[in-house]
Amino acid sequence: MTTLDRVPPHLRRYVVEQDYSQYTGVDQAVWRFVLLQMYDKLQRTAHPAYKKGLGDTGISVERIPSLAAMDACLTRFGWGAVAVHGFIPPRAFTEFQALGLLPICAEIRTADHLVYTPAPDIIHEAAGHAPLIVDPQFAGYLKRIGEVGARAFRSPEDDAVYDAIFRLSEVKEQPGAAPNEIILAEQGFESAKQRVHRVSEAARVSRLYWWTAEYGLVGKLDDYKLFGAGLLSSLGESHSCHHPSVVKLPLTVACADVDYDITHAQPQLFVARDFDQLGDVLEDLASTLSFRIGGARALAEATQSEELCTLTLDIGLEVIGHVSSGAPLEGTDTLFARLCGRVAYARGGELFTDSPGDSKECWVLMGQLGDGNSLATLNDWQPNGEPFELRLGADAVFSGRHARRSDALFQPVFEASELCLRAGSLVCQVPHASFVFGGALLGARAGASDASYYARSEPSRDRVPHPRVYPADEARMIELYARALAAHASAATSAMLTSFHEIHQVLAEQYPRDWLLRWNLLESLVKRHQQGELVDQLRAELTQLERDFNGEQPIASGLRYLGLD
């Protein structure tokens, strides 16, 4: 079975093809600048799995990885890799991860955002997430938190924040974006955050993911290793996280109550005792979520989320649809849920093949009749088209006409016309609908329990990175990078030196502010133990550019890596 075969049909639309030919020499230089330094420092500060994991998952510090090659390596650990384009919806991301599939954005950050980018890119998602998958405990945690995240309810406000983050990251990574565009995107992000009036289940799971899989530390408070992908892919925070001003706290489920800001360095980090503890903390959080607790609170979460959901009844029936309204009935021990849209039925996570079909509305009543008996006792009822009236409490009545039982299902689903529910101030009426009875709501989860509920899709024909058209001046610069990369790969040092002198002459005449190519030339010369005028010139120019850029570019860290600071 190929990795694509493992992707459920409804997620295939997010899968794209990596077009490796679109990576320029500048892109390769960006990868090398970050990975060479990260690998050098993380051998000492990262979890031991990092060093081994880079090679075992098909990642080289020298070149941007082929995602097909990474996928082949990851299969040895029960995982796979799929290429995606930019942000994908959080729900889709968690579903991929629950299946042991790592979605990797095929784009790479620009040279202007070497230290950090809010947009997903191949440095973060390949070099950050993949290496630790070689550790079985951590890989198991990633799958499990994907499963929990896929079931946790989001809120409409969460979606608004996601859209604002997407817009902000796209604008910030867009070459030549006007300052007012960035300001407007930042204002939109702040406005979306301020409109969040409650913390959803999905937000709490997302926070746990952030403080572990993205920014986690493991070990002791005063003796720890890095394992979060955000730290393993950031030149800045992989260094600054050790500063005493960054508070280190023991990891507990309380971290799910601590919000984060993707646009700033993290003021505190959490330290897990070991990878086994990650699973324990996740279990603590999962035990508080709707798919576990059920009852009125779970129904309230499903209703407020406005998401597609699955209600699991104690009779073994799963009802899939959107809860348009749901609450305890006044003066009764009964919960009432009204599902709309396409309503389907399942058992054990599998849709009934002989389900009534595209039912447009279903009423679910769970709890007790007015006489104290469970509503589940009505599942043996044979109405045979007759009218009915059921008393649920002193002032609560459920009635209808032409009631019939659908014998197509293993569990009973009834249908009737002129349905009416009266309970206190609540009055619901509908010309026709399905309805089911249960003794209790065992759980409610986001999404359909069976992926076959969703509409099928095919992989996108998109090839990423997209072809780019460069101005003539930038195109000449890209050619210089390509020449430098070819010379770097040359076995003959004399040929490399000749090419480097020619490239440097062009840099001096036409590109006085380009620092990254100068650093790449210097890095190659230092690693071949070269000395002389060109080395001195490049070092002096980079030192001056560090001052010219007021430290806003990571030139100093590059010189430190080469031992030339």
SS3 assignment, position 39: helix
CA nearest neighbour of 312 among 304, 301, 320: 320
> Using an 8 Å Cβ cutoff, are 21 and 477 in contact?
no
Identify the pLDDT of residue 14. Answer: 95
Identify the pLDDT of residue 424. Answer: 87
- Positive or negative, the CA dihedral 534, 537, 538, 539 is positive
**How far is 233 from 217, CA to CA, in rounded Å?**
14
The string of pLDDT tens digits covering residues 205-242 is: 999 999 999 999 999 999 999 999 999 999 889 999 99
Crossing angle between the packed helical segments 516-527 and 533-548, to the nearest 10 degrees: 140
> Using an 8 Å Cβ cutoff, are 302 and 444 in contact?
yes
Q: Please enumerate in sequence order all residues whose Cβ is within 8 A of that of 228, keeping only pairs 6 or more positions apart, or say none.
A: 128, 212, 213, 214, 215, 216, 217
**How far is 187 from 491, CA to CA, in rounded Å?**
52
Identify the pLDDT of residue 175. Answer: 66
**How far is 482 from 54, CA to CA, in rounded Å?**
25
Q: Please give the C-alpha separations between residue 262 and each of 124, 170, 180, 186, 275, in angstroms, as whole numbers.
A: 14, 14, 20, 12, 24
Phi-psi region of 115 (alpha: psi -120 to 50; beta: other; left: phi over 0): alpha
The string of pLDDT tens digits covering residues 278-327 is: 999 999 999 999 999 999 999 999 999 999 999 999 999 999 999 999 99
DSSP state of 407: T
Identify the pLDDT of residue 134. Answer: 96
The string of pLDDT tens digits covering residues 45-81 is: 999 999 999 999 999 999 999 999 999 999 999 999 9
**How far is 528 from 522, CA to CA, in rounded Å?**
10
> Using an 8 Å Cβ cutoff, are 464 and 17 in contact?
yes
Neighbours of 380 (CB within 10 A): 8
- Each residue's pLDDT, cut to its tens digit, for the chain (565 residues) gives 899 999 999 999 999 999 999 999 999 999 999 999 999 999 999 999 999 999 999 999 999 999 999 999 999 999 999 999 988 989 999 999 999 999 999 999 888 778 777 678 999 999 999 999 999 999 999 999 999 999 999 988 887 877 777 787 777 766 667 778 878 887 887 787 778 778 899 999 999 999 999 999 999 999 999 999 999 999 889 999 999 999 999 999 999 999 988 778 899 999 999 999 999 999 999 999 999 999 999 999 999 999 999 999 999 999 999 999 999 999 898 999 999 989 999 999 999 865 545 568 999 999 999 888 999 999 888 888 889 999 998 889 999 999 998 766 667 899 999 999 999 889 999 999 999 999 999 999 999 999 999 999 988 889 999 998 889 999 999 999 999 999 988 888 999 999 999 999 999 999 999 999 999 999 999 999 999 999 999 999 999 999 999 988 899 999 999 998 7
The three-state (H, E, C) secondary structure of 315-374, written as one string = CCCEEEEEEEEEEECCCCCCEEEEEEEEEEEEECCEECCCCCCCEEEEEEEECECCCCCE
Q: Please give the C-alpha separations between residue 186 and each of 163, 176, 182, 189, 384, in angstroms, as whole numbers.
A: 12, 17, 6, 5, 61
Q: Please enumerate in sequence order all residues whose Cβ is within 8 A of that of 189, keeping only pairs 6 or more positions apart, or say none.
A: 161, 164, 165, 167, 168, 263
Identify the pLDDT of residue 177. Answer: 75
CA nearest neighbour of 277 among 189, 208, 348, 199: 208
